[in-house]
Chains A and B, each alone.
Chain A
Amino acid sequence: MLQLSKKDSTLLIAVVVLTLLAPVLLNPFPESSALAQFNAGYPDLMQRLVIFGIFAIGFNILFGLTGYLSFGHAAFLGIGSYAAIWMMKLLTMNVIPAIIISVAVAGAFSLLVGWICLRRSGIYFSILTLAFAQMSYSLAYSVLTPITGGETGLQPNLADPRILDSALAEGQTPRANLFGIDMRDTYEVTLADWVFTFNAGYYIAAVILIAAFYMSIRIFRSPFGMMLRAVKSNQNRLNYTGVNAKPYTLAAFVISGMYAGLAGGLLVAMDTQVGAERMFWTASGEVVLMTILGGAGTLIGPVLGAGFIKYMENIVSKINKSILEQWFAVVPDGLQDFLINIIYPFVGKGWHLTLGLLFMMVVIFLPGGLVEGGQKLANLFGRNKTNNGPDSATTPTEQGNEK
């Protein structure tokens, strides 16, 4: 299917099904139950899950395949966002031009940054990209205020020219749309005690995620992708095999920069505002965490990692003291206080602690990320059913994926 191997097709179909059914799958708990706060099926969070999935897929093309660890990818995300918001201010609130321009501008900027940073490899490359990102962040905050809005950021105003749109009446707010479909249009389905929200913006982002994921499979399986893995494996041999590694790494850098720009443009399409904090170094670090947590160099890993971190960020961080008290209401008072005091540092504002511990455990026990964990589980259960040797299913095409 679509020139993919059977295994890759299955993976793509799984992603399609999961993203399209996410509003249902992420809302497994009835509204009135105490567990309803673990539901993630609301548009704002689902949009973030897929957008950061796209960001991580792109990052993985650079880091997972070539091994070049960029610490500045949030800069491309931010630049994509600024480009998109300017399209919304100048041209139209339709998201199509905004998204296209965000990819193009991020691609052009990453060409420049990559051309400079790829003169070095290893830690020096990482530091150079970090320097570029922090520079972009500081500039956006200070001297570039006329373009970036500085501390206040940017959002579409009534007074913007928007030459392609008809003028809005006084008091109306400009809304991002796709040929008239408002990104915020939602359709709610109530089934007994469950409420499922189907949101236009989410589905647009989800379709783009599927396309981005498909592109990434094609890149992984292409001769180009193989050369990128060769760069990671042995750059010396690659050079003495007549291959110039530099344009390959630069192309990978630009492609991943364009993915970041796409994610930035989508963020603006879903929520029409930008601030410079989007480019802060912690945002660059977050995508590194997502990729490693999910499994660097695997196809599905970055998407899982992004989903996992964004879920934690939004759900675990919402658990506060009164919710904990509710949970342990049946426990005797002394024990209740004890349990709450033990758990409290790990939830709410302390969710970073939980994330950090989980990240440490994954890196130590599952260096291949969540994907490796999944494979180990599959082997555990698969062994009972079939007695195929571990290599029997391994073809050269699949090995890259399993790395």
Chain B
Amino acid sequence: MSILEIKNVGKRFGGLQALDKVNLNVAENSVHAIIGPNGAGKSTLLNCLVGKLIPDTGSVMFDGQSMLGRKPHEINQMGISRVFQTPEIFGELSVLENMLIPCFAKRDGAFHLSIMKNMLSDREVLDRAQHMLEEMNMADKHAMHAASLSRGDKRRLEIGMCLAQEPRLLLLDEPTAGMARADTNNTIDLLKQIRDTRDITIAIIEHDMHVVFSLAERITVLAQGTPLVEETPENIKGHPKVREAYLGEAQV
């Protein structure tokens, strides 16, 4: 049973066919990685999924509903959360406030005019936010400005903010890019824990093979805007087409 169905998606930027006839199914409660050399169209594909770009052709279905033409906040409210390449958090707000926002958004929807309430007197939302901070091991940092967190903590916070919304699909765009080895391993452990303890589908775009092979159950290799192969990690490692795509890039 696939939760995300990408059918025949194509996207063209001027003379560049960034995506061409992409077909991809992501099974529910699985971890699906999309890898590929630079310029393969990974980020374009992701942007088509979250409503930032509209594909020229094809369809994207989430849980049987079309996602095309919807705005990012609508797609999020359908149950899709996104983690960015560089952590996108509210730097000027406190860590607790960062966590309160997704909790309010989950309960109150895209817009709720609550002027006369105090943001900290809403027990239900506050408890939920504090619980998520504890789960992310960040409860002791609740009063800090998010901008002053370390890179690894920013990533943890961002993932925690996404999980606070209880998404059905979590999209990760190179979650360990630019991280030190220790932070990368922490992030892998966190994602493993999420995979094993929650009913959640994870789609991950990644450069780092170490991350991909320790997490993914299915891997799709994208090259020049088209899926090359889709296989399990074991079968991908020695796949001739994959070697060709990567080595071909290395020779250039």
Contact = CB atoms under 8 A, between A and B. Distances in A.
A binds B: yes
Given A240-B88, A242-B110, A399 B145 contact: yes
Given A233-B93, A396-B96, A244 B122 contact: no
By CB atoms of chain B within 10 A, which of A3, A223, A234 has the most? Answer: A223
Interface string A233-258: 11011111111110110010000000
A230 interface: yes
A222 interface: yes
Contact of B92 (A219, A227, A236, A403): A403
A7 to B, nearest CB: 13
Interface in B55-104: 71-73, 76-77, 81-82, 84, 88-94, 96-97, 100-102, 104
A218 interface: yes
Contacts of B145: 399
A395 B115 CA distance: 21
B90 A223 contact: no
A118 to B, nearest CB: 14
Dominant secondary structure at the B interface:
loop
Interface residues of A, number: 36
Contact of B120 (A227, A397, A403): A397
B123 interface: no
Contact of A234 (B71, B89, B111, B112): B89
Contacts, number: 123
B105 interface: yes
B71 A239 contact: yes
Given A238-B101, A239-B72, A218 B110 contact: no
* Most chain B CB neighbours (cut-off 10 Å) among A232, A242, A394, A395: A242
B75 to A, nearest CB: 8
B106 A242 contact: yes
A222 B118 contact: yes
B117 interface: yes
Nearest to A251: B113
Contact of A237 (B88, B109, B111, B119): B88
Contacts of A184: none
A188 interface: no
Contact of A222 (B71, B73, B110, B119): B119
Given A224-B115, A240-B76, A248-B111, A396 B97 contact: yes
A224 B97 CA distance: 12
Interface in B219-238: none
Contacts of B90: 229-230, 233-234, 237-238
Given A244-B111, A248-B111, A234 B91 contact: yes
A242 B106 CA distance: 8
Interface string A34-45: 000000000000
Interface of A: 3, 218-219, 221-227, 229-230, 232-234, 236-245, 247-248, 251, 391, 394-397, 399-400, 403
11 contacts: A222-B115, A223-B122, A224-B115, A229-B90, A230-B90, A233-B92, A234-B91, A241-B73, A241-B161, A242-B77, A399-B145
| A-B pairs with lowest CB-CB distance, top 4 | A242-B76, A244-B110, A233-B90, A237-B88
